[in-house]
Amino acid sequence: MTLSIQPHQPITEGARTFLTGGPKKLLIANEWKDPVGGQHFATNDPASGARLAELAEATSEDADLAIAAARNALSEPAWRDMKPSARGRLLWKIADLIEAHADELAELETLDQGKSWATSRFAEIPASAEQFRYFAGFANKILGQTIPTSIGYHPPGKKVFAYTSREPVGVVAAITPWNSPLLMAAMKLAPALCAGCTVVLKPAEETSLTALRLGELMVEAGLPAGVVNIITGFGSLGAHLTAHKGVDKVAFTGSTEVGRMIVGAAQGNLKKLTLELGGKSPAIVMPDADFDLVLPGVARGIFANSGQVCVAGSRAYVHSSIYDRFVEGLAKEAGKLRLGHGLDKETDLGPLVSTGQAERVAAFITEGRAEGAGIAAGGERLGDDSAFYAPTVVTGVKADMRMMREEIFGPVIAVTPFDDPEEALAYANDTDYGLAASVWTQDLSSAHRLAAGIKAGTVWINCHSYFSPELPKGGHKESGWGYENGAQGLENYLETKTVCAVI
Ligand code: NAP
Ligand code: MG
């Protein structure tokens, strides 16, 4: 089967203006600048292959300028002395502007990344605004403590008075992936600004458009110069940021492979790191699972955003008493999904982010088939040079096969039977990753026992991929370091200073 998609003309006035305004520039100290080297690269619509815009290819010289602007802004009174409540209002204003421009941002996101309009417009763009709202409320609640001490060697007649204060960690390099571009940027910008840090943001080369538009909106919201700088370019630009002495912290979301490189690069000045990395998340389906919940729930858990979700439930372990019925039902769910251009309102699933990513997914399936895996649904790319891949249900995948061990980042789920809960837990934990998992059962005890037994940063019960800024999100094992969201998400952007005085 092939799917041929015609280029889409932008519908919203905002997206049209943004895409027709000439090559995009870099945001440095609130000015839009051409890259020093004068080079550009194209960003495309993965559904049709149409060119959307030319992006500035920043080099290390541009990065140095952006870092210098961020460092300078840290000590400028306009930012350093901004009252916490004013910082909160600024974050709230950014949220308001994201919402006011939600149609346009959703259109840019769908054109650039491929995801469905519903995912962009009703999930990720509103969720990006919510990130800023959540941390807006924290800006005037960042507190130190006064601490009674047991120190006994102070001069007679004196006493010890000690307290802590919280300070911004400094210049943050925020490096984001291509699967949920605006949301991933918002998850770093909102807590960083709440804490009083300054930021150099490098979005993924394939999907930089919404970050650049957000940059315009942040300037409009009144962000002081240099507080957020946005530079577009390739992985080497990210590498330069992560090794740079002028950067105090790296907030990274992306692959475990690049995460490891960042750990190495950051050692020069021992940067603080938060790493949100890859996953191979299991879904355990118990014999009493509610089929009306579990089939659409597991299908959504893997197929949403065409499987390009870090927490995608890519391994289902299903009790053998319901295994056949489950595989048949899940294959039906996969077959119901309509593939097409993300901007067509009928579309459930858009393309993958690029033809290269579709090739990568196809290679996993070819290899799995050769090793004996069976295909219960999908298993095909929709055209030789297409970025579309059919939602795929695979059976008979052995624990040591590459498709069971590595993150595919596509719409592919492997379904395996188990006989008792201990076996299910052993399967679920048989991975280097530890990002997320789901458990499907109507029995409270088995739900919470399984949740306790799974090594993962998030466990969902009777749902998958439920997110909110209030809920900490991070990886155990090789899925990362640190947490985003919630009060813990703010901690990553703050240092503690202890002041101890004899008075
Ligand atoms: P990626 O290849 O690791 O790239 C992520 C970002 O890092 C991009 O901006 C990339 O730039 C940049 N980069 C590449 N090489 C670098 C280097 N040596 N040093 C510093 N930065 C570098 O990941 P991706 O393919 O864009 O995204 C998919 C991955 O992200 C998956 O593994 C997924 O699981 C993970 N992810 C995790 C979470 C989470 O919360 N745990 C959420 C979403 C996605 P270029 O774009 O120019 O290559
Ligand atoms: Mg693109």
Closest of 168, 169, 172, 167 to residue 66, by C-alpha: 172
Does the annotation count 194 as an active-site position?
Answer: no
**Residues 143-157: pLDDT tens digits?**
999 999 999 999 999
Q: Binning pLDDT at 50, 70 and 90, where does residue 4 land?
A: confident
Rounded average pLDDT over 471-498: 97
Rounded average pLDDT over 264-284: 98
Q: Which residues have CB under 8 Å from 180's CB, separation 6+?
A: 124, 305, 309
pLDDT on residue 336: 97
414 forms beta bridges with 315, 394
pLDDT on residue 333: 98
- Ligand 1: residue whose CA is nearest its atom 16: 235
10: Cβ below 6 Å to ligand 1? no
- Give 62 Cα–ligand 1 centroid separation in angstroms: 21
Question: Does 1 have pLDDT greater than 80?
Answer: no
Q: Where are the domains of the chain?
A: 15-277+481-499, 282-465
Ligand nearest to the CA of 207: 2
- Give 52 Cα–ligand 2 centroid separation in angstroms: 7
Whether the predicted model's global pTM rises above the 0.85 cut? yes
Residues 195-225: b if buried by 16+ CB within 10 A, e if exposed: bbbbbbbbbbbbbbbbbbbbbbbbbebebbb
Q: Binning pLDDT at 50, 70 and 90, where does residue 2 land?
A: confident
- Ligand 1: residue whose CA is nearest its atom 30: 254
Closest of 187, 193, 84 to residue 143, by C-alpha: 84
pLDDT on residue 21: 87
- Ligand 1: residue whose CA is nearest its atom 19: 239
Task: For residues 464 and 461, give the distance between their C-alpha atoms in angstroms, rounded to a whole number.
Answer: 8
Choosing from 104, 124, 206, 276, the catalytic residue is 276
Closest of 447, 439, 412 to residue 280, by C-alpha: 412
Q: Does domain 282-465 have CATH number 3.40.309.10?
A: yes
Contact call for residues 494 and 167 (beta carbons, < 8 A)? yes
Per-chain mean pLDDT for the chain: 97
120: Cβ below 6 Å to ligand 1? no
Choosing from 57, 310, 407, 484, the catalytic residue is 310
**Residues 361-396: pLDDT tens digits?**
999 999 999 999 999 999 999 988 999 999 999 999
What ranges make up the beta strands (E) of 115-179? 160-168, 171-175
Rounded average pLDDT over 43-66: 98
Does the annotation count 310 as an active-site position?
Answer: yes
- Give 254 Cα–ligand 1 centroid separation in angstroms: 3
Distances (CA, A) of 499 to 155, 272, 418, 462: 18, 22, 56, 48
**Residues 394-451: pLDDT tens digits?**
999 999 999 999 999 999 999 999 999 999 999 999 999 999 999 999 999 999 999 9
- Give 434 Cα–ligand 2 centroid separation in angstroms: 29
**Residues 315-357: pLDDT tens digits?**
999 999 999 999 999 999 999 999 999 999 999 999 999 999 9
**Residues 451-460: pLDDT tens digits?**
999 999 999 9
Query: 324 by DSSP, 3-state: which?
Result: helix
Distances (CA, A) of 91 to 94, 211, 244, 429: 5, 16, 28, 39
- Phi then psi for 249, rounded to 5 degrees? -150, 145
- Give 449 Cα–ligand 2 centroid separation in angstroms: 43
In the numeric block, which tokens belong to residue 474? 């991070």
63: Cβ below 6 Å to ligand 1? no
- Ligand 1: residue whose CA is nearest its atom 40: 276
**Residues 214-260: pLDDT tens digits?**
999 999 999 999 999 999 999 999 999 999 999 999 999 999 999 99
Q: Binning pLDDT at 50, 70 and 90, where does residue 166 land?
A: very high
In the numeric block, which tokens belong to residue 116? 């469905």
pLDDT on residue 10: 84
pLDDT on residue 3: 86
266: Cβ below 6 Å to ligand 1? no
User: Percent of the chain scored above 70 by pLDDT?
Assistant: 100
**Residues 85-124: pLDDT tens digits?**
999 999 999 999 999 999 999 999 999 999 999 999 999 9
Contact call for residues 177 and 253 (beta carbons, < 8 A)? yes
Ligand nearest to the CA of 115: 2
Closest of 420, 439, 483, 431 to residue 457, by C-alpha: 483
Q: Does domain 15-277+481-499 have CATH number 3.40.605.10?
A: yes
In the numeric block, which tokens belong to residue 217? 């909106």
